[in-house]
Amino acid sequence: MARPGKKRQNVTVLRLQERNWRCVGTRSVVRSSVRQDRLNHRLQLTVCAMGSSVTRSNLRFPLPVLPNESPMRCFRPFAAVLLSASALFGASQACAQSPNASTSLDQSIIASSAVLTEAQKTAIKAFAQTQVQLLATANDQAELESARRILTDAPRDPAATAIFRRGYSTVLIPLLTPVASGTDLRRAIFAMQALRFLRSNEAVDALLNRASLATEKDGARRLVAAGLAADLLSDADLSPIQMEAIAKRLGICALAETDSFALQQQLEGFNALLKRSQLPADTAKTVRKSEFEAIALLASSIAQQPNADARMNAVYRALISVRNQWVEMPTAEKTAAAPQLARGLVDLLKASDKQWTSVRANANLSPSYAGMCNSAEVLLRLVDRSMRPNAPRSTDDRVLPKTWESADKAAFTAEVKRWSDAVATYK
């Protein structure tokens, strides 16, 4: 139990491995304010050493929780790089700018239910320019934190209307985009965090630009952008047509992605769309079609590799979501989706068979391959019931996991071939 005057928090434990900082877990500690200040300083120095070499992390980006807002909105977990101690421990309150027109917006603007007037647009522009300028040029950590907090407070205000957010996005996105694509990783991430809370289609587009290998070569930045985009997709103000277009774009990003952690967040974007409340059935069907197509294409690519492929980490986790979706899908949609999804599952199993030796020698990837075999077999059995309702069934429902765990290569290969032959009959 924490003693009076002290606070219990989760501290991310970092380890230097092969010249890359990697997050290896979290532990709960009790820390006095003095100890927190010291830890903040050490982590700030760590940020300088990290640069863009970060390849993995499992952190959260806390932001101040506004009244009537669920803390989970600010602490939703996703894989992201460590930027600064203040981003981890919520030190953005450490330095507050003096209240004036450039550090706050009038509540009548934020809560506007009518089209914004020219005067209101001018006020938003002055406000945004001041804070983004600080984000782009300030060298003081407290000033950077304050600018980020001020930029994100306005759209997160419980009274903020869709009309205000659209007007705010129109002004802010062109200002934030150069910072998000700039050379300073810390400033870029702060800019992308500001984009996440705009909840507009344009903000999704800006984040996906940074999440795509075609437009962003820095893996750390793609990782954070994809995670923020997935989080944004859960509550962005999007039309069905926009969601369908975003799903297609996620598939394009995923197929080109080389970093398994960024890929995991890109695939999570599909799940975020599908979990939206009141999602039209036709839109859900289109999003799932794009998701299944992306998984099938990734499976084909992985199967072509001679050795264990790190992308299996991401695909395995995506299959868990697909398995849950399948149970709820309409029968007609299952029939239409089954051939492509089943072929992708078989390709993943063929990859496991082909890469058998290298996978078993890789302690980091072997668990994902094993988990994939289990999920793939469950899904194939579900799919097969839709496609061949009268076909004979095996009494053993865990053939692939058992043969994988027992390292029985011959039996595993035979079972993969059996499924491959069955799926070849699907039309």
Statement: residue 45 has pLDDT above 50 = no
User: What gap in Å lies between CA 382 and CA 26, rounded to an integer?
Assistant: 37
Q: Identify the domain boundary among 61, 94, 127.
A: 94
Instruction: Note the pLDDT tens digit of each residue in 286-327.
Output: 999 999 999 999 999 999 999 999 999 999 999 999 999 999
Statement: residue 357 has pLDDT above 50 = yes
Statement: residue 72 has pLDDT above 90 = no
Task: Give this prediction's pTM.
Answer: 0.78
pLDDT of residue 56: 35
User: Does residue 217 lie within any of the structural domains?
Assistant: no
User: What gap in Å lies between CA 288 and CA 307, rounded to an integer?
Assistant: 29
User: Does residue 292 lie within any of the structural domains?
Assistant: yes
Is 135:190 a contact under the CB 8 Å cutoff? yes
**For 45-49, 123-127, 174-178, 234-238, which range has the lowest pLDDT when averaged over its residues?**
45-49
Mean pLDDT of 248-259: 97
pLDDT of residue 391: 80
User: What gap in Å lies between CA 37 and CA 306, rounded to an integer?
Assistant: 49
User: Does residue 167 lie within any of the structural domains?
Assistant: no
* % of the chain beyond a pLDDT of 70: 76
Is 196:232 a contact under the CB 8 Å cutoff? yes
Domains contained in the chain, number? 2
Instruction: Note the pLDDT tens digit of each residue in 75-119.
Output: 333 433 333 333 333 433 433 444 444 678 999 999 999 999 999
User: What gap in Å lies between CA 251 and CA 249, rounded to an integer?
Assistant: 5
Question: CB within 8 A of 174, min separation 6: which ones?
Answer: none
* Per-residue confidence band for 347, with pLDDT thresholds at 50, 70 and 90: very high
Q: How far lies 407's CA from each of 197, 394, 396, in Å?
A: 48, 20, 17
User: Does residue 377 lie within any of the structural domains?
Assistant: yes
User: Does residue 5 lie within any of the structural domains?
Assistant: yes
Q: Identify the domain boundary among 34, 66, 94.
A: 94
User: Does residue 162 lie within any of the structural domains?
Assistant: no
User: Does residue 212 lie within any of the structural domains?
Assistant: no
**For 2-6, 22-26, 132-136, which range has the lowest pLDDT when averaged over its residues?**
22-26
User: Does residue 76 lie within any of the structural domains?
Assistant: yes
Q: Identify the domain boundary among 73, 94, 115.
A: 94
User: What gap in Å lies between CA 426 and CA 52, rounded to an integer?
Assistant: 46
Statement: residue 17 has pLDDT above 50 = no
Statement: residue 65 has pLDDT above 70 = no
Mean pLDDT of the chain: 81
Statement: residue 71 has pLDDT above 50 = no
Q: 3-state SS string over the chain?
A: CCCCCCEEEEEEEEEEECCEEEEEEEEEEEECHHHHHHHHHHHHHHHHHHCCCCCECCCCCCCCCCCCCCHHHHHCCCCCCCCCHHHHHCHHHCCCCCCCCCCCCCHHHHCCCCCCCHHHHHHHHHHHHHHHHHHHHCCCHHHHHHHHHHHHHHHHCCCCCHHHHHHHHHHHHHHHHHHHCCCCHHHHHHHHHHHHCCCCHHHHHHHHHHHCCCCCCCHHHHHHHHHHHHHHCCCCCCCHHHHHHHHHHHHHHHHHCCCHHHHHHHHHHHHHHHCCCCCCHHHHHHHHHHHHHHHHHHHHHHHCCCCCCCCHHHHHHHHHHHHHHHHHCCHHHHHHHHHHHHHHHHHHHHHHHHCHHHHHCCCCCHHHHHHHHHHHHHHHHHHHHHHCCCCCCCCCCCHHHHHHHCCCHHHHHHHHHHHHHHHCCCC
Domain that holds residue 313: 280-427
pLDDT of residue 102: 63
* Chain-centroid distance, C-alpha 98: 35
* Chain-centroid distance, C-alpha 331: 30
pLDDT of residue 37: 39
**Backbone dihedral angles phi then psi of residue 26, each to the nearest 5 degrees:** -130, 155
What one-letter code names the amino acid at 27? R
